[in-house]
Amino acid sequence: MKKLVWMFSLLLAMPFAAQSAGGPAIELEPAENNLRDQNSLQRGAVLFSNYCMACHSLKYMRYNRIARDIGWSDEEVVAKMAYGMNSVVDDVETRMLPGVGMDVLGTEPPDLSLMARLKGTDYIYTFLRSYYQDGQGKWNNHALEGTSMPNVLEGIERHASSEDYAQAARDISNFLEYVGEPAKMKRMDLGWKVIAFLLVLLLLTYILKKEYWRDIKH
């Protein structure tokens, strides 16, 4: 029994150990995003199209899936995210031509479909907001020192209030969390129903067991 308790606590601790081993050097700001906030997801999708798709793809997503999940029609998603240039069944591909990233930035921008799963939503939020200018006025980032990604939200930071700037980063992070696991809300809604069903089943089987053993001496 003792051994079992040990093994169980080790299993519980494992994800935390894994996360702390590969984590970023700085403390992450909580994104405080909300996957149920459909307006935020829609704003995030538009911001993603305007500020990120010049370099990044979401190659595991199609436009029509996004439309269905965040409350747009097929026409709307193509108009708002692809300037009417793609078909709804297309994957969400970057507008950058192959090889340009390497030539201009020295590296290919990664696909962001699973980035929120890999690094966490708080990381994306923090990363977008951690740009600073060093002594020579060169941009760098506290979350990823020496990064070759430019400070793409600089314009918003400069011209909007700090709340609106934070909200823009939050909406983009929210959208990328949704993209990382499109069925997450369904899973969470279904989860408690399954648990409730199992509890009812437990009660019924317990009553049944009582009934079976009633006449047997034990």
- 198 makes contact with ligand HEC (CB under 6 A): no
Question: What is the rounded distance in angstroms from the CA atom of residue 11 to the CA atom of residue 43?
Answer: 39
Decide whether 150 or 191 has the Cβ nearer to ligand HEC: 150
109 touches 170 (CB < 8 A): no
* Least distance between ligand HEC and beta carbon 18 (Å): 17
Residue 74 corresponds to which tokens in the numbers above?
């097929």
Nearer to ligand HEC, 77 or 144 (CB): 144
Q: Interface with ligand HEC includes 144 (CB under 6 A)?
A: yes
> Is the Cα dihedral 32, 38, 41, 47 positive or negative?
negative
Select the residue interacting with ligand HEC from 41, 67, 92, 115 (CB under 6 A).
Answer: 115
Please say whether the beta carbons of 108 and 102 come within 8 A. Answer: yes
Q: Which residues is 141 bridged to in the sheet?
A: 131
Terminal C-alpha separation, the chain: 25
Q: Is 182 in the site for ligand HEC (CB under 6 A)?
A: no
105 binds ligand HEC (CB under 6 A): yes
**The one among 127, 131, 165, 178 contacting ligand HEC by CB under 6 A:** 127
Binding part of the chain for ligand HEC, among 13-21, 70-78, 112-120, 192-200 by CB under 6 A, reads 112-120
- In the DSSP assignment, the letter for residue 27 is P
- Based on the shown chain and the rule CB under 6 A, indicate whether residue 110 belongs to the binding site for ligand HEC: yes
Rg, C-alpha atoms of the chain: 23
Contacts of 114 (CB under 8 A, 6+ apart): 60, 180
How far apart are alpha carbons 36 and 50 in whole angstroms?
A: 23
Stretch that binds ligand HEC, among 10-18, 110-118, 155-163, 201-209 (CB under 6 A): 110-118
DSSP labels, 185-197: HHHHHHHHHHHHH
Interface residue with ligand HEC among 150, 164, 185, 187 (CB under 6 A) is 150
Among 41, 70, 77, 172, binds ligand HEC (CB under 6 A): 172
- The reply to whether 54 sits near ligand HEC by the rule CB under 6 A is yes
Min dist. Cβ of residue 122 to ligand HEC (A): 12
Distances (CA, A) of 124 to 128, 174, 177: 6, 10, 9
Residues at the contact surface with ligand HEC, assessed by CB under 6 A: 51-52, 54-56, 101, 105, 107, 109-110, 112, 115, 119, 124, 127-128, 144, 147-150, 152-153, 172
